[in-house]
């Protein structure tokens, strides 16, 4: 009888650990789904602008990827929506002098840009 009880206890323990391990992997999948992709327009001219725009985007907590294309003026973002929003990123970029489609930088911030970085404002 004692051997049967030990075997049953071991089987129950093993099943319990297996179920717990499955729950952990499911929670990781849920976390991965909180990342979202966005594309938005950001004004700029050159590689200096590219570095500044990307650096400002990465400074926002929750941004996983930020790539600005010089030719198309498109910023491709991957961000964790639980930590930040696209608007947070646009505000950070505007703060360093670059207009976005939704948030315009102040004249003070725009005028701080290097002369080659002064883009045509709309």
The answer as to whether 22 is a domain residue is yes
**Is 0.85 surpassed by the pTM of this model?**
no
Note the pLDDT tens digit of each residue in 3-29.
777 777 666 666 665 555 544 434 343
Do 87 and 110 fall within a single domain? yes
Which regions of 1-122 does DSSP assign to beta strands (E)? 35-41, 63-68, 74-80
The answer as to whether 21 is a domain residue is yes
Do 4 and 26 fall within a single domain? yes
Do 9 and 55 fall within a single domain? no
User: Which is nearest to 116 in space by CA: 53, 29, 49?
Assistant: 49
Do 21 and 73 fall within a single domain? no
Q: Give the pLDDT score at 70.
A: 96
**Domain range for 57:** 35-117
């Amino acid at each position: 009888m004692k051997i049967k009880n030990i075997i049953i206890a071991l089987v129950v323990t093993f099943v319990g650990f297996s179920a717990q391990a499955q729950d952990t992997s499911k929670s990781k999948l849920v976390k991965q789904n909180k990342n979202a992709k966005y594309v938005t327009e950001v004004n700029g001219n050159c590689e200096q602008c590219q570095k500044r725009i990307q650096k400002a985007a990465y400074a926002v907590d929750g941004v996983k990827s930020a790539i600005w294309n010089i030719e198309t003026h498109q910023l491709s973002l991957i961000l964790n929506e639980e930590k930040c929003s696209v608007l947070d990123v646009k505000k950070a970029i505007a703060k360093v002098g670059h207009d976005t489609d939704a948030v315009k930088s102040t004249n003070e911030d725009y005028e701080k840009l290097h002369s080659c970085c002064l883009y045509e404002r709309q």
